[in-house]
């Protein structure tokens, strides 16, 4: 019975590793949805109105088209900026030969001694330190091993196949901004294409060829589906941010009156988005927030150049 369970667990991890192959496919899928949406909104629908090629276009229609196209491009830039920031930003790795000064995981404040680290993996049951048997190294507080990436990730939230990367301490903000701008963009597209969608099922006249009508219908359905699903994820993750909890911790932690890492909503928010409000809505951190980031996650870098060399 034990042998069967071990084989089943091994197969699951092999499946997780195979998810790496979906990387380019998922990126192409995201870019494909963006391309179809851009074609429908800008090229097919509102671009001709703004160019005055439709004939008899009023001033109001021109202003609406200008507003939609301008807002669409602004949101699209922020969406893609946030998306590729999540894709290409390391979520947070454990520094080589890292050792904790305190047992923060259990809330202890007494300094750790050399004997408490254990001399071998066999000593781990008697040790106060979290240890990853797959990476063969110690794990900082709130650190988890990702079976897809094959390494431990700081403050890991989950592995997202859409961004082909883990979502962790150093790119969680970018992931949330990606959800935020995706929701705004898909909502704008849904509302701007809603009149055509309604006319599609009524006797209303819709300009365009059968091909453009089908593409418009597809873009509306896709953006409506993404808007509704992303809204649910956005609400979920903002509730986690307000309590300074990750998706993994929400399932793992015991029910207690007070979560150890809950610092209050304001400080919890600043721990993810930074203290400089000018950077809250862009996928970047201020220099001061970059210097604070290692300390927030229980890490210490030996010298300032090492800290500056990290990519956040």
CA distances from 293 to 8, 226, 274, 290, 299 (A): 38, 32, 9, 5, 9
**CA pair distance 65, 49, nearest whole angstrom:** 6
Mean pLDDT of 195-220: 80
Is residue 159 within a helix (H) or strand (E), and if so which, with residue range? strand 158-160
Residue 131 lies in a domain: no
Residue of 143, 146, 160, 166 marked catalytic: 160
Domain extent, residue 44, equals 13-94+170-312
Mean pLDDT of 27-50: 92
Identify the band that residue 97 occupies on the pLDDT scale cut at 50, 70 and 90: confident
pLDDT, mean over the chain? 79
100 vs 302 pLDDT, higher one: 100
Residue 294 placed within a domain: yes
Provide, for the chain, the percentages of residues in helix, strand and coil under a 3-state DSSP scheme, each rounded to the nearest 5: 60, 5, 35
- Token duo for residue 121: 């993996």
Instruction: Work out the average pLDDT over 40-66.
Output: 83
The verdict on residue 101 lying in a domain is: no
Instruction: Tell whether 125 is covered by a domain.
Output: no
User: Which range, of 183-187, 198-202, 279-283, averages the lowest pLDDT?
Assistant: 198-202
Task: Provide the whole-model pTM.
Answer: 0.82
Helix 172-200 to helix 210-242 angle (10° resolution) is: 140
pLDDT at residue 70 tops 60: yes
Domain assignment present for 248: yes
Give residue-wise pLDDT tens across range 244-299.
Answer: 999 998 887 655 667 888 889 999 999 999 999 999 999 999 988 887 766 555 55
pLDDT digits (tens, 9 = 90+) for 101-139: 655 555 544 444 444 444 444 444 444 577 888 888 888
Residue 162 lies in a domain: no
pLDDT score of 235 more than 50:
yes
pLDDT of residue 285: 92
> How many structural domains compose the chain?
1
Q: Which residue has the higher pLDDT, 139 or 4?
A: 139
The answer as to whether 141 is a domain residue is no
DSSP-H helix ranges across 106-261: 172-200, 210-242, 247-252
Q: Percent of the chain scored above 90 by pLDDT?
A: 46
Asked which of 45-49, 172-176, 233-237 is least confident by mean pLDDT, the reply is: 45-49
- CB distance 82 to 177 below 8 Å: yes
pLDDT digits (tens, 9 = 90+) for 244-258: 999 998 887 655 667
160 in active site: yes
The DSSP call for residue 139 is -
């Amino acid at each position: 019975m034990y042998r069967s369970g071990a084989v089943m667990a091994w197969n699951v991890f092999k499946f997780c590793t195979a998810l790496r192959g979906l990387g380019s496919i998922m990126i192409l899928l995201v870019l494909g949805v963006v391309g179809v949406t851009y074609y429908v909104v800008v090229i097919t629908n509102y671009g001709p109105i703004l160019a005055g090629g439709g004939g008899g276009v009023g001033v109001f229609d021109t202003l609406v088209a200008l507003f939609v196209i301008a807002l669409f491009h602004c949101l699209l830039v922020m969406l893609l900026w946030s998306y590729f920031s999540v894709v290409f930003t390391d979520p947070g790795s454990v520094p080589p030969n890292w050792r904790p000064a305190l047992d923060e995981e259990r809330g202890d404040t007494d300094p750790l001694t050399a004997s408490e680290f254990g001399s071998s993996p066999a000593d781990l049951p008697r040790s106060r330190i979290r240890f990853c048997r797959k990476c063969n190294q110690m794990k900082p507080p709130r650190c988890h091993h990702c079976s897809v990436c094959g390494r431990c990730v700081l403050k890991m939230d989950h592995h997202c196949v859409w961004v082909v990367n883990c979502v962790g301490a150093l790119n969680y903000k970018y992931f949330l901004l990606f959800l935020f701008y995706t929701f705004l963009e898909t909502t704008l597209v849904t509302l701007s294409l809603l009149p055509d969608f309604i006319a599609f099922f009524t006797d209303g006249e819709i300009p365009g060829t059968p091909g453009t009508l089908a593409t418009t219908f597809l873009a509306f359905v896709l953006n409506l589906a993404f808007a509704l699903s992303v809204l649910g994820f956005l609400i979920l993750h903002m509730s986690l941010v307000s309590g300074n909890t990750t998706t993994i911790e929400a399932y793992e932690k015991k029910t207690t009156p007070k979560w150890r890492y809950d610092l209050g909503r304001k400080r919890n928010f600043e721990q993810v988005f930074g203290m400089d409000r000018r950077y809250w809505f862009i996928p970047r951190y201020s220099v001061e927030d970059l210097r604070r980031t290692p300390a927030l996650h229980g890490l210490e870098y030996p010298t300032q150049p090492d800290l500056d060399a990290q990519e956040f």
